[in-house]
Amino acid sequence: LTQLFRPLDMLGWVYRTIRQGLIDMADMFNLMDTEAEVKDVPGAPAIVVRHPVVVFENVSFGYDPDRQILHDLSFEAPAGATVALVGPSGAGKSTIGRLLFRFYDPWSGRITIDGQDISQVGQESLRAEIGIVPQDSVLFNDSIGYNIAYGRGDASEEAVRRAAADAAILPFITALPHGFDTQVGERGLKLSGGEKQRVAIARTLLKDPPIVLLDEATSALDSRTEQDILATLKRVSEHRTTLAIAHRLSTIADADIINVMEAGRIVESGSHARLLQADGLYAEMWNRQQNEASEEREAAE
């Protein structure tokens, strides 16, 4: 009989592993095509984060040896600050996020958090310090409560409710016939882009990490939803070191530092006001987006 059941056991294990793998990938910027390549150095200690300062020092990197993506890139995110990464598609913004989460190691240069080189610490401990709100979260085929508590199985019901409230999704959940027990995902209730993002926000608030990576949705949300989400995202970045990847500049205009990227390099850096004054790439992008927005408003009228 055991002979008969072993393959079934195996199948269950494979299924769970794949499912887990897929979700973990999805959590990280839809990295479905990424394989975990990095290994811990033997005896790597856990990272200890007291002052969540994130520093990229002369980082060069490419996914393939013959195609360099990041070129000698340096920037600092001071503890508690919000640092935005903006720039044209393919500039390397998400790549920075993947390196910070250590899906890959840089070719040269280093990335430190609170003075510790992230390639020298345990990956698990590193990832516990970083929360991610991806552009498009994939949810588990499980209850909405489970999806919020994911990674924090020990969270109390009260804590899950509070996180949902802070992510402004509590009224939506309590109005569902089965509340937090409502099944979501492919085989359950389908959530809108905005609702999924709120689940990701609630999950991050519950995890309560000192560092967060926000990857702004590229898909258009209607402007009211966008305003609501922005207000909730502010809550996520409060008191945390935040790296915000943005496409619409209006969403990061109040960031402490805006790094403008082009072809794997930071070409401008500063506050919104200073970058407008500098009248370079950022100003050009800003003016273009302002014009597009007013054209859309006119078209809607």
Which residue number, 66 or 158, has a Cβ lying nearer to ligand ATP? 66
- Contact set with ligand ATP (CB under 6 A): 33-34, 63, 69, 89-95
Least distance from ligand ATP to the Cβ atom of residue 56, Å: 14
Distance of CA 6 to the CA centre of its chain: 39
Beta bridge partners of 133: 214
Least distance from ligand ATP to the Cβ atom of residue 33, Å: 5
Which residue number, 13 or 107, has a Cβ lying nearer to ligand ATP? 107
- Residue found by looking up tokens 């492919």 in the block: 186
Rg (CA), the chain: 20
Which residue number, 92 or 134, has a Cβ lying nearer to ligand ATP? 92
Return d(Cα 25, Cα 283) in angstroms, integer.
35
Least distance from ligand ATP to the Cβ atom of residue 152, Å: 28
- The secondary structure of the chain in percent helix, strand, coil, rounded to multiples of 5, reads 40, 20, 40
Question: Are 211 and 113 contacting, i.e. CB atoms less than 8 angstroms apart?
Answer: yes
Least distance from ligand ATP to the Cβ atom of residue 67, Å: 7
Which residue number, 58 or 294, has a Cβ lying nearer to ligand ATP? 58
Least distance from ligand ATP to the Cβ atom of residue 71, Å: 12
Which residue number, 104 or 172, has a Cβ lying nearer to ligand ATP? 104
Question: Are 84 and 8 contacting, i.e. CB atoms less than 8 angstroms apart?
Answer: no
Beta bridge partners of 143: 183
What is the dihedral angle through the alpha carbons of 202, 99, 126, 258, rounded to the nearest 10 degrees? -60
